[in-house]
């Protein structure tokens, strides 16, 4: 009961009117799922264990040592020697916003290649911070020739060009050769999204002249969601550290983040925000696994398993959404929705009876595709066979549905 006094609620007496919720008095329950969608993917025990290590302070010297390891791991995964390499405290979108907010000033021109949802997102982010946004457009599954890109660069003279390497909503891996050179010819920086492709499809940041590259933790890297590696070239640093206006976001301001990650050459690191310590432990372990396996092995392994999956899908009579094998994203396979089926019913059946997550399309590819992702730890023949068996079963059981 509550006893009031002249000075308000009596010390030690409760003034709460909302009781503890019943759900909070029950233990946490998390089902097991095979995460064979476009992410997150299942996290191997070694990475889960790393994330479960005791917390240390975000400014402890040992933590800075772990962050330095992460930086080295990202430099290897991205194939870059950029000093301005770090992990964002946040998901892939955080890195996306960080790149746009720091590189572009209001009123500057930006060119965005849209061939699925990720270009749409970047265009919206750039628009919100006051950039002049121009777009190159293809329906999902389409890609851009270097000639098309060059023409648009010459016309719009953007300071930044955005391209998605692994378009997970369409299942397309975009050719990268020559794009960086064309951008530099027009004094434009190249920003590339590799959230769905890093570790699964070849990408060489320095050799391909990419200025800003980011990825996510939860796809082929197999870490839990919530951290996002990003790297900036010298050229990109020159632009973002010589701007007239401050970036719109304090949290994502690279002046602060570069100090937090020890990249600015200053002797002292000053508190900016409290990074996700456990998330960084897990990310370090996932980058260690990639380094142990070797990037080239990881790329060829993803291709081998993807080809096994593609053959199995075609044997089931299904049509792959991306016709050209070389343009198929090995980590996320898109299947044209088979005629006579309700895609939502197929997915629900597979989840209910096989505990497997596949997904439908995303953004502009909704209603066009089913998506199967086999990434990193999940990428093996046994899982591909399990995915095929589940799909075969669903195709038998859901046959009579209306499309």
In the sheet with 332-336, reading across from the earlier edge strand, the strands are: 332-336, 369-373, 359-360
Among residues 170 and 305, whose Cβ is nearest to ligand PMP? 170
Gap between the Cα atoms of 298 and 220, Å rounded: 9
Contacts of 3 (CB under 8 A, 6+ apart): 9, 10, 13
Exposed, middle or buried: residue 66 (CB in 10 Å: 0-12, 13-18, 19+)? middle
**Residue number, 208 or 215, with CB nearest to ligand PMP:** 215
**Minimum distance, C-beta of residue 227 to ligand PMP, in the bound complex (Å):** 9
Q: Which is nearer to ligand PMP, 91 or 278 (CB)?
A: 91
Q: Provide the minimum distance between the beta carbon of 25 and ligand PMP in the complex, in angstroms, as a whole number.
A: 32
Tell me whether residue 92 or residue 330 sits nearer to ligand PMP (CB atom). 92
For ligand PMP, give the closer residue by CB, 34 or 341. 34
Q: How far apart are CA 166 and CA 118, in angstroms?
A: 10
- H or E segment at 35? strand 34-35
Rounded to the nearest whole angstrom, what is the least distance from the CB of residue 6 to ligand PMP in the complex? 53
Q: What is the CA radius of gyration of the chain?
A: 23
Q: Applying CB under 6 A, which residues contact ligand PMP?
A: 38-39, 91-93, 118, 164, 166, 168, 193, 195-196, 216, 225
Could you write out the DSSP letters of every residue in 152-212? HHHHH--SEEEEESEETTTTEE---TTHHHHHHHTT-EEEEE-TTTTTTS---TTTTT-SE
Q: Which is nearer to ligand PMP, 91 or 401 (CB)?
A: 91
Q: Which residue is nearest to ligand PMP (CB)?
A: 92
H helix and E strand count, the chain:
12, 16
* Shortest distance (Å) from residue 202 CB to ligand PMP: 16
Residues 326/171/373/75 CA torsion (nearest 10 deg): 70
Q: How far is the CB of 137 from ligand PMP (least distance, A)?
A: 17
What minimum distance in Å lies between the beta carbon of 228 and ligand PMP? 7
The whole-angstrom distance between residue 246's C-alpha and the CA centroid of its chain comes to: 26
CB 203, min distance to ligand PMP, A: 12
Q: At closest approach, how far in Å is the CB of 136 from ligand PMP?
A: 17
284 marked as binding residue: no
Please measure the distance between the N-terminal and C-terminal CA atoms of the chain and give it in whole angstroms. Answer: 60
C-alpha pair distances (Å), 358 with each of 13, 41, 114, 307, 332: 52, 11, 24, 18, 10
Residue closer to ligand PMP by CB (options 247, 373) is: 373
CA distance 173 to 143: 9
Element (H, E) at 121: helix 117-128
Preceding amide of 164 cis, omega within 30 = no
Residue closer to ligand PMP by CB (options 330, 338) is: 330
Which residues are known binding-site members for substrate? Answer: 371
Which residues are known binding-site members? Answer: 371
């Amino acid at each position: 009961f509550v006893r009031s006094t002249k000075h308000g609620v009596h010390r030690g007496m409760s003034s709460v009117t909302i009781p503890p919720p019943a759900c909070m008095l029950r233990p946490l329950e998390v089902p097991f799922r095979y995460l064979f969608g476009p992410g997150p993917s299942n996290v191997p025990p070694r990475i889960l264990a790393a994330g479960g290590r005791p917390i240390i302070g975000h400014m402890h010297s040992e933590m800075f040592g772990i962050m330095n390891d992460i930086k080295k791991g990202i430099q290897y995964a991205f194939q870059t020697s950029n000093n301005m390499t770090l992990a964002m405290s946040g998901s892939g979108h955080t890195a996306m916003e960080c790149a746009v907010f720091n590189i572009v000033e209001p009123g500057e021109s930006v060119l965005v290649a849209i061939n699925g949802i990720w270009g749409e997102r970047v265009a919206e982010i750039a628009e919100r911070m006051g950039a002049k946004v121009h777009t190159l457009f293809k329906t999902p599954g389409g890609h851009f020739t270097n000639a098309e890109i060059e023409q648009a660069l010459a016309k719009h003279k953007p300071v930044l060009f955005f391209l998605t390497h692994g378009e997970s909503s369409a299942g397309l891996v975009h050719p990268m050769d020559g794009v960086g050179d064309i951008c530099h010819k027009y004094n434009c920086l190249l920003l590339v999204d590799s959230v769905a492709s890093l570790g699964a499809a070849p990408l060489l940041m320095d050799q391909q002249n990419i200025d800003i590259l980011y990825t996510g933790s939860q796809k082929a890297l197999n870490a839990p969601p919530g951290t996002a590696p990003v790297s900036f070239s010298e050229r990109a640093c020159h632009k973002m550290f010589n701007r007239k206006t401050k970036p719109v976001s304090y949290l994502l301001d690279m002046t602060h983040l570069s100090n937090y990650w020890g990249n600015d050459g200053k002797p002292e690191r000053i508190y900016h925000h409290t990074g996700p310590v456990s998330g960084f432990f897990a990310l370090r372990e996932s980058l260690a696994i990639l380094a142990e396996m070797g990037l080239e092995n990881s790329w060829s392994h993803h291709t081998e398993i993807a080809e096994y999956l593609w053959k199995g899908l075609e044997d089931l009579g299904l049509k792959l959404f991306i016709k050209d094998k070389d343009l198929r994203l090995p980590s996320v396979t898109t299947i044209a929705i088979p005629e006579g089926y309700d895609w939502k019913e197929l997915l629900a059946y597979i989840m209910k009876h096989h505990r497997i997550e596949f997904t439908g399309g995303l953004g502009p590819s909704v209603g066009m595709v089913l998506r199967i992702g086999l990434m990193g730890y999940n990428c093996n023949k046994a899982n591909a066979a399990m995915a095929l068996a589940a799909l075969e079963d669903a195709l038998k059981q859901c046959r009579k549905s209306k499309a």
